[in-house]
Structure 1
Amino acid sequence: MAVSYTTRPFITAAFTALLALTTTLPARADDTLTVFDWSGYEDPAFHPAYVEKYGSSPDFSFFGDEEEAFQKLRSGFKADVGHPCSQSVVKWREAGLLEPLDTSRLTNWNDILPGFKSMKDLMTSADGTAWMIPFDWGNTVLTYRTDKVKPEEVASLKAFADPKFKDRVSIGDNVDDAYALASLAIGVKDWTTMTDAQFQEASAFLRDVHKNVRLYWTDNTDLSQAMASGEVDLAWAWNETAVTLQADNVPVDMKRDTTEGLSTWVCGYVRLKGGEGSEDKTYDYLNAITDPAVASYMVESWGYGHSNAKGMASVDPKILEEKGYADVDKFTHNTLFQAPMPTELRQKMIAEFEKIKSGY
């Protein structure tokens, strides 16, 4: 933070020198802001009001998936703001990793899409305490090379386990997306009610998928490069992958109308307990990322929806139609929503997915 001093003529030279020295000292920890995030979200276009006010973006540290982030935070890693998704909020809160949000300091709190406000345990707990402000939402969806794969070959999500796609498949190194795929493939739309028999069936499906996997991707850059080079023809991917590849004229498309459907998720920002940075900057950042002006950029350039209802309403209708957001009800039709699940079930998924990736 820049410091300004007014020097009067009668200040001694020694005192002037002391003032000059203090301006060169490192900033105190409580004058900084560290955001713990997915790679890519450091993009200044997601928080232009923050950059305008402070002259630069906050500091960022990155994680590959939410379980990695959870374990790192539990081991003592310090950051001020984190970016978990719907299925992890309860777990992070119950583990004592979060600080409540002061909604009176959140300029855009009342403009969050109504559907998010009604979701149990997403934004607030039963006692009304606010824990997360939603930011982005979208799909994990079958994505394929249109020059190598015919639409009829991927009419079902079971294509991921079809031997014809051996060594041509990629899914995320992400337990939530993996089990969203598996749940849909076996006909489960609400994973919060998954039985043990269904869990075993879903895990067996992922073992079949593993036989075809060329790459477990950890961020969009890895997957995009693999699809652009022709290394991967079929992927379980976020909207961003197809949007960025299409912008580079790579023949890729999303298959939203598979027999079993697709997965929908919402992610947002939380205050992390033990953060040593500026509380003022924390709220300035949360207000910047939920500013309605950010919505157009998010939808057009990343293919994701923005949480601010006013922002989404301001996006060019042609762009909303092109990206699939013109009708939110249609967008979420035939979908598995990645809602908060019982902690015990998620722990089972985490342990089993590690075995599956290891070939067991």
Structure 2
Amino acid sequence: MTLRFALFGTATLFAGAAWAADPDLLVFDYSGFEDPAFHSEYAAKHGQPPSFTFFGDEEEAFQKLRSGFKADVSHVCAGSVTKWVESGIVESWDISRIDAWGDLNADLKGTDVAETGEEVYFVPSDFGSTAIAYNTEEVPEADVSTLDVFTNADYAGRVTLPDNVDDAYALAYLATGTTDWSDVTDDQFQAASDWLREVHPNLRTYWVDPAELAQLLATGEVLIAWAWNETLPTMTEEGFPIGFQREPEEGSSLWLCGYVNLKDGEGAEDKAYDFMNALLHPSSTMPLLEAGYGHANAAAMAELGDEALTEVGLGPIDAPVLAQLPMPGALRERQSAEFEKIKAGF
């Protein structure tokens, strides 16, 4: 994703600033994921957490790594994985060293590696849903039964989309009848782009981070948003009349992030696997969930029950789901270029 922020009470950290700890492992990450509760087993084993350094968005991270910056592992969301692999900055994981590999959600892994023999460059760790967040006192439930609500003239100037190409196109594909972006045709791409252009004049703004979105909803500037599931518990805790519709007739989407093993990292390779095993350990499930993130460890998630997942917008649904799994690099570049034009009004 362009940007993923965790809503924790941690100190403010700026992109590029290092949080020193174990000098033998440097994790390149979004600010917030250094929370020790997310990988407590690592500190239990080594006596200290990994070192972290941060980026603001994945394009910044990609360019920094391409220019020679060294780290050992990096957080990246699925839409960017193909581009990173094709650039040669990552190397494959040895899944025999990933303790929880067999417990991970098979839909998030995207392939049965045991059968195909394919190399694994991306290990999923965290995910969430993106759906319609709305003010239940101002917006009838019937209006959010379809993604057409984003083009509804009654809400002109009271609607927002994320300033995020993956989330925006996931919405647009769903709205135009595409539920799998792994093999999008030219016609499907054009239909999605045309739909985003239709929505653009209806928007109040493109929101950048969850704090901004929460403010837009709380002040009433925005009544309807395409939002991450973490918006639901955050706004509920603040007493805001929030609805989170994951079952419009066209469906909703599932974003997915994980970690890649960076080539030429200067740290200890064994500790990269220790980090992944700690992150995927069941002890990390509840801390991630409390921050609004689903955990890729399906076995651990199942232990929590559907009610706990539903409370944070991750429960089971009866509607199409577009999973934001790795896509062809050329398609993502095409979408990125088109999205910039759309936001500029062209």
Structure 2 match to 1:307: 296
The residue aligned with 1:345 is 331
Give the Cα separation in 1 of the matches to 2:115 and 2:172. Answer: 29
Looking at structure 2, the residues matched to 190 and 182 of structure 1 have their Cα atoms a distance apart, in angstroms, of 12
1:244 match: secondary structure: helix
Deviation at 1:183, TM superposition (A): 0.7
RMSD (Å) for aligned C-alpha atoms: 2.7
Match of 1:31 in 2: 23
How far apart in 2 are the matches of 1:61 and 1:257?
35
1:110 aligns with 102
Task: Report the counterpart of residue 52 of structure 2 in structure 1.
Answer: 59
Deviations 1:229-254 (A, max 9, x none): 33322111111111222122222121
Deviation at 1:164, TM superposition (A): 2.6
| Cα distance in structure 2, aligned partners of 1:317 and 1:350 | 35
**Aligned ranges for residues 106-255 of structure 1 at < 5 Å?**
106-117=98-109, 119-120=110-111, 127-255=117-245
Structure-2 change in CA distance of 1:158 and 1:79 (3 Å): farther
Q: Deviations over 1:204-250 (max 9, x none)?
A: 21122222333322322222232233332211111111122212222
| Cα deviation code 1:132-161 (max 9, x no counterpart) | 221112211111122222222222212212
Note the C-alpha offset of 1:72: 3.5
- How much does 1:323 deviate? 4.0
Q: 1:126 Cα shift?
A: 5.4
1:318 shift after superposition: 3.4
How far has the Cα of 1:35 moved from its partner? 2.3
Deviation at 1:259, TM superposition (A): 1.8
Once the two structures are superposed, residues 272-314 of structure 1 have per-residue CA deviations (whole angstroms, 9 ceiling, x without a partner) of 2233333333222211110112212323x23432111331132
Q: Cα gap change, 1:352/1:68 in structure 2, threshold over 3 Å: closer, same or farther? A: farther
How many angstroms apart in 1 are the aligned matches of 2:223 and 2:51? 37
Residue type of the alignment partner of 2:76: P
Aligned length: 326
Amino acid at match of 1:31: P
Which 10-residue stretch deviates more, 209-218 or 89-98? 209-218
Aligned partners of 2:115, 2:189: CA distance in 1, in Å? Answer: 27
Distance 1:239 1:30, change over 3 A: closer
Stretch deviating more after TM superposition (51-60 or 175-184): 51-60
Judge which range, 55-64 or 349-358, deviates more: 55-64
Deviates more, 1:306-315 or 1:343-352: 306-315
Distance (Å, rounded) in 2 between the aligned partners of 1:168 and 1:326: 28
Q: Identity across aligned pairs (percent)?
A: 47
How far apart, CA to CA, are the structure 2 residues paired with 1:276 and 1:222?
37
Mark the CA change 1:171 to 1:69 in structure 2 (over 3 Å): closer, same or farther. Answer: farther
Q: Contact (CA 8 Å) 2:158, 2:223: kept in 1 or not? A: yes
Q: Which ranges of 4 or more aligned residues in structure 1 deviate by more than 6 Å?
A: none
Normalization by structure 2: what TM-score?
0.84
2:72 to 72, 80, 95: 80
Which residue number in structure 1 is paired with residue 11 of structure 2?
none
Is 1:336 the counterpart of 2:322 in the alignment?
A: yes
Once the two structures are TM-superposed, the CA of residue 175 in structure 1 deviates from its matched residue by: 0.9
Between stretches 191-200 and 285-294, larger displacement belongs to: 191-200
Unpaired segments ≥5 residues, structure 1: 1-27
TM-score (norm 1): 0.81
Name the amino acid aligned to 1:341.
M
Residue identity in the other structure for 1:145: N
Find the counterpart in structure 2 of residue 94 from structure 1. Answer: 86
Indicate if the aligned counterparts of 1:50 and 1:288 stay in contact, CA closer than 8 A: yes
